[in-house]
Structure 1
Amino acid sequence: MKPNPAIQDRPSPVTAAGARKGAWLTVLDAGARLLQSTSPLKGFDVYVAGLHCAKGDPGMQMEAHHYCKVVNDDLLQCLIFDGNTADANLIGIEYIVSGALFDTLPEEEKDYWHPHNYEVFSGQLSAPGLPQKVETSLMKQLVNSYGKTWHTWHTGTHGAPGMDLPMGDATLMWSFNRDGEADEGLRTGFEQAMGIDSDAKRADRASLLPLAEPQRGVDEMKDDFTGTTPVPGVVDADAPR
């Protein structure tokens, strides 16, 4: 896939531990390109970028650069990196399902899946490099969807780098669901570096609001943040109406 000149570079916030690539790895790389198939990785060409926080740990926040494969209309599989350049580190995975598929899950399983409507309607989630009309069509597919996300490596943020190797248990991630939940420095730094106008995206995606349904998990971390503001289209399925 050719680089898209419209996409801003966002390098990893850390340098991974270990010696620099040696000659034998260089030879291996060349041989792999010529002789080995990369079939399982083909199709991971949908790029979306946003912000994540850990479930139950509101201070653990970071950028999440997703490279996704559309399996079908109800399922996407994503590899998550801490940047979008060649030195980016693989920090996790995310599975995305439609609201219809989510409804078929066992009740105890649903607690692992975070809602996506805030990411869509706040303008926080973007598909860098896509024309706005195409990006809006992609976001339409994500309305009412859910994600199950595990991070295996916390490399930190671009203002405060984290671990230089993946350590400890995998962390279940969650979504932001109100304005003011994401750290303001993290949010503005990310948007400025990526050339994202979230206000313009929010205004454009207002046309999708009639599609929005209440979602499970919107209020899961409500009490972990203060001074937040609700966003139209983002309502907890269990909230009184």
Structure 2
Amino acid sequence: MKERRSPLRPDGEGKGAWLAALEQGANLLQSTEPMKGFDVYVVGFHCVKDGPDEQMEAHHYCKVVNDDLLQCVLFDGNTRDANLIGIEYIVSERLFEGLDEDEQAYWHPHNFEILSGQLVAPGLPDVAEKAFMKQLVNSYGKTWHTWHTGRHDGRPGHGLPVGEPKLMWSFNREGECDEALKDDRARAMGVDVERKRAERQEFVPLARPQRGVDAMKEQFAGTTPIPGVVDRPPGRG
């Protein structure tokens, strides 16, 4: 698996001797049990809901709680220096349908991310990645970014996590995600989106209309829908 370093070094000075001693003691004596199990790794793209120009690559480290729920910690890279930028909860269609309409508006649909080939699981064998993506068809994510550290294509971010957390959204048509952002990841990580898209076309018959597909439709120009990604108006099951 190829390394993807953070696009930004946070504000602040280097680690002092006190921190080295703390880390050594923590490694020997403290437990990190809550962090165990966050070992499913996927990479995708997010934009701020109602902020189409604020786009970012997000590295998800997820824990499978059960067949209907995943909990993910988000970073801006996959190396030791990666910055923590947010969280995402992923629920099945079944759990999503149990939420009231106001709550559903916080959750973005996943079918485009899967069927377009944009969502990938680096390092996972093709067979395992495909099986995992099939499991995610018709699922939804609730994502908050607490830090915009910048885009890997060179657009600057903030040296600290300033401002309010931002609700993020998924892309739902070709042409919504900045091509420079996609191309940069493809070069750096060797991601072949078109191949993955072709391999996942067998999932199209499984995809059902999802709420939120059209939530930002009017905020993007010159976009193209793909088979299997259809909007479902609120209040309709």
Separation in structure 2 between the aligned mates of residue 63 and residue 40 of structure 1, nearest angstrom: 25
Counterpart among 185, 188, 200 of residue 193 in structure 1: 188
How far the C-alpha of 1:161 sits from its partner, in A, is 2.2
Aligned residue runs from structure 1 range 148-159, under 5 A = 148-158=142-152, 159=154
Aligned to 2:51: 57
Aligned to 2:60: 66
How far the C-alpha of 1:123 sits from its partner, in A, is 0.2
Separation in structure 1 between the aligned mates of residue 233 and residue 87 of structure 2, nearest angstrom: 28
Aligned to 1:114: 108
Separation in structure 1 between the aligned mates of residue 231 and residue 213 of structure 2, nearest angstrom: 5
How far the C-alpha of 1:156 sits from its partner, in A, is 1.2
Aligned to 2:78: 84
Answer yes or no: is 1:175 the counterpart of 2:170: yes
Counterpart among 73, 84, 96 of residue 102 in structure 1: 96
Separation in structure 2 between the aligned mates of residue 127 and residue 160 of structure 1, nearest angstrom: 24
Aligned residue runs from structure 1 range 135-154, under 5 A = 135-154=129-148
Counterpart among 215, 221, 225 of residue 220 in structure 2: 225
Answer yes or no: is 1:209 the counterpart of 2:204: yes
What is the one-letter code of the residue matched to 2:172?
A: N
CA-to-aligned-CA distance 1:164-216 (integer Å, 9 cap, x gap): 10001000000000000001101111122111000000011111111100000
Separation in structure 1 between the aligned mates of residue 208 and residue 23 of structure 2, nearest angstrom: 47
TM-score with structure 2 length normalisation?
0.97
What is the one-letter code of the residue matched to 2:50?
A: G
Listed as ranges, the gaps of 5+ residues in structure 1 are 1-6
CA RMSD of aligned residues (A): 0.9
Separation in structure 2 between the aligned mates of residue 194 and residue 215 of structure 1, nearest angstrom: 30
Aligned to 1:10: 4
Separation in structure 2 between the aligned mates of residue 131 and residue 219 of structure 1, nearest angstrom: 33
1:108 is paired with a residue whose SS is helix
1:209 is paired with a residue whose SS is helix
Counterpart among 32, 44, 51 of residue 38 in structure 1: 32
After TM superposition, where is structure 1 displaced by more than 4 Å over at least 4 residues in a row? none
2:25 is paired with a residue whose SS is helix
Aligned to 2:13: 19
How far the C-alpha of 1:238 sits from its partner, in A, is 2.7
TM-score with structure 1 length normalisation?
0.95
What is the one-letter code of the residue matched to 1:124?
A: Q
Identity %: 66
Listed as ranges, the gaps of 5+ residues in structure 2 are none
